[in-house]
Amino acid sequence: MTNPRITRREALQTTAALGAGLWLGSSAQPTRAAANEKLNVAVIGIGGRGVANLDAVGKTENIVALCDVDEQRAGKAYERYSQAKKFTDYRRMLDDMENQIDAVIVSTPDHTHFHPSMIALTMGKHLYCEKPMAHSVWEVREMTKLAAQKKLATQLGMQRHAMDNMHRVVELIKSGAIGDVNEVHSWIASNRGMPPQPVKTVPVPKTLDWDLWIGPAKFRPYAVNAKGEGALAPYNWRFWWDYGTGETGNFGCHILDIPFWALDLKYPTRVDATGPNIDADRTPTEMQTSFAFPANDKRGPIKLHWAQSKNGPAILKEKGVSLKGANTLFIGSKGMLLTGFGSYQLFPEKTFEGFKAPDQFLPDSPGFHKEWTNACKGDTPATCHFDYSGPVSETVLLGNTAYRAGGGFDWDAPSLTATGNDNANQYLVSKFRKGWEEFTS
């Protein structure tokens, strides 16, 4: 069932040339729909998270093409959007439909975000991509730069950014409700990771194109674990380093969005990490990382801590606050703010008796996906455009890098250089298997 490989893609230029706008046979100019017109959207990856993105955008725009390597998982979406053209290979889809597409959504596993996104951006197509933006820091930076060069509308799938409580928390921090903030703790209360090893190689399901699922990553045969589950697909890939980014990649962009937004964070200058013994292949069940951010003209330096821990970080017990419903603790000179996605509390409670929140000054979102489709039609940029969300993704992946490298390093963001830990550099870039070298680091 594998579609023929696309020789045109083999002729793509280097990343530097792509940044200059070179695409064979195309002007590579952004396509713009008028504000009252519907976008023609192609969706890559329509099982799992892709279903939510597809249905959200499909409410208001034209879904003209669908692509998935697994016909069975894609089946219901194919039925609902029967008018859309169906593809297994996104390269074939983008090649055939280039002149019929305004925008592209990428909702594939982490290791296959980069290639379709770079092709779409090179073609001048607006892009919505799932978090984390890509599989390595270098990939994220390349996507961020290319989207900016092309002046395209982008959005990273950090949909909780649109929630009312997130707006209110950011307003509180920015208005100085807890004074000057110099430390933040964020976490995911989870012990997921270290998935079972494969125990048996089995035939690939007839509905699945396994070679395309692997894409540019290290090839492993299709196999099951002792539970009878797919060792990698459809979900366990998330906890294998060659394909996923663990719970840090899974939730880090959502949760670190809160301090990034509230404190105008960009790139850290120091990254540290600790955790259990490193497994070369699989992501851990717990880890702790920290990031040092320099002062800017709005605030002093910030120490941001990130943890994956089933019971939350030790700071919660130390400060006497509850884990329930929370994922971030801001510590300020006048108090603390504990928040999750849906609620917040100010501490010490006596200090904030009768506290009046500032008047709302952050505009409500029209809807997270609507922000992006509006931006594609010439409206203001979406709130999680790549210039904002790229640094969030990079920070998340830097935490993973420090853990895998066995310790911290100083970070020079402009040059993507880690110093003080020679082990780190191998995890900052991507190594693509033969046949997928269109974009190289």
- In degrees, to the nearest 5, what angle opens at C-alpha 170 toward C-alphas 167 and 176? 140
Mean pLDDT to the nearest integer, 306-317: 95
Mean pLDDT of 184-201: 97
- Which of the four pLDDT bands, split at 50, 70 and 90, describes residue 32? low
Check whether 22 has a pLDDT greater than 60: no
**Do residues 66 and 90 touch, judged by C-beta distance below 8 A?**
no
User: Which CATH code, of 3.10.20.30, 3.30.70.141, 3.40.50.1980, 3.40.50.720, is assigned to 7-160?
Assistant: 3.40.50.720
Mean pLDDT within 29-51: 83
Residues recorded for the chain: 441
Look at residue 2 and tell me whether its pLDDT is greater than 90: no
SS3 annotation, the chain: CCCCCCHHHHCCCCHHHHHCCCECCECCCCCCCCCCCCCEEEEECCCCHHHHHHHHHHCCCEEEEEECCEHHHHHHHHHHCCCCEEECCHHHHHHHHHHHCCEEEECCCHHHCHHHHHHHHHCCCEEEECCCCCCCHHHHHHHHHHHHHHCCCEEECCHHHHCHHHHHHHHHHHCCCCCCEEEEEEEECCCCCCCCCEEEECCCCCCECHHHHHCCCCCCCCEEECCCCECCCCCHHHHECCCCCHHHHHHHHHHHHHHHHHHCCCCCCEEEEECCCCCCCECCCCEEEEEEECCECCECCEEEEEEECCCCCHHHHHHCCCCCCCCEEEEECCCEEEECCCCEEEECCCCCCCCCCCCCCCCCCCCHHHHHHHHHCCCCCCCCCHHHHHHHHHHHHHHHHHHHCCCCEEEECCCCEEECCCCCHHHCCCCCCCCCCCCCC
The average pLDDT across 27-34 equals 58
In this prediction, residue 15 carries a pLDDT of: 34
Measured CA angle at 388 (ends 387, 390), to 5 deg: 70
Q: What is the pLDDT of residue 64?
A: 98
Distance CA 430, CA 146 (A): 17
The ranges assigned to domains in the chain are 7-160, 161-192+245-362+386-427, 198-239
| Confidence band, pLDDT 50/70/90 cuts, at residue 25 | very low
Place of tokens 């950011």: 170
Would you place residue 49 in the very low, low, confident or very high pLDDT band (cuts 50, 70, 90)? confident
Q: pTM of the full predicted structure?
A: 0.93
Smallest CA-to-CA distance from 416 within 392, 441, 384 is with 441
Q: Determine contact, residues 253/161, Cβ cutoff 8 Å.
A: no
Mean residue pLDDT across the chain: 92
Alpha carbon 190 to its chain centroid, in Å, reads 18
Per-residue confidence (pLDDT) for residue 311, from 0 to 100: 92
Is 3's pLDDT higher than 50?
no
Does residue 14 register a pLDDT over 80? no
Token pair listed for 172: 């509180």
* Whole-number pLDDT of residue 24: 36
**29 or 88: which carries more pLDDT confidence?**
88
Q: What is the pLDDT of residue 20?
A: 30
To the nearest 10 degrees (0 to 180), the angle between helices 246-263 and 386-404 is 130
Residue 29 confidence class, pLDDT cut points 50, 70, 90: low
The class level of CATH for 161-192+245-362+386-427 reads alpha beta
On the question of pLDDT at 80 being above 50, the answer is yes
Q: What is the pLDDT of residues 239-296, one digit of tens each?
A: 999 999 999 999 999 999 999 999 999 999 999 999 999 999 999 999 999 999 999 9
Q: Could you report the per-residue pLDDT of 359-388, keeping only the tens digit for each?
A: 999 999 999 999 999 999 999 999 999 999
pLDDT at 27 over 60: no
* Burial class (CB within 10 angstroms; exposed 0-12, middle 13-18, buried 19+) of 364: exposed
Those residues whose C-beta lies under 8 Å from the C-beta of residue 434, and which sit 6 or more positions away, are: none
Angle between helix axes 114-122 and 90-97 (nearest 10 degrees) is: 10
Position 411 confidence tier, pLDDT thresholds 50, 70, 90: very high
The 10s digit of each residue's pLDDT in 91-101 is 999 999 999 99
Return d(Cα 143, Cα 130) in angstroms, integer.
13
State yes or no: pLDDT of 34 exceeds 80. Answer: no
In three-state form (DSSP H/G/I as H, E/B as E, the rest C), the secondary structure along 214-242 is HCCCCCCCCEEECCCCECCCCCHHHHECC
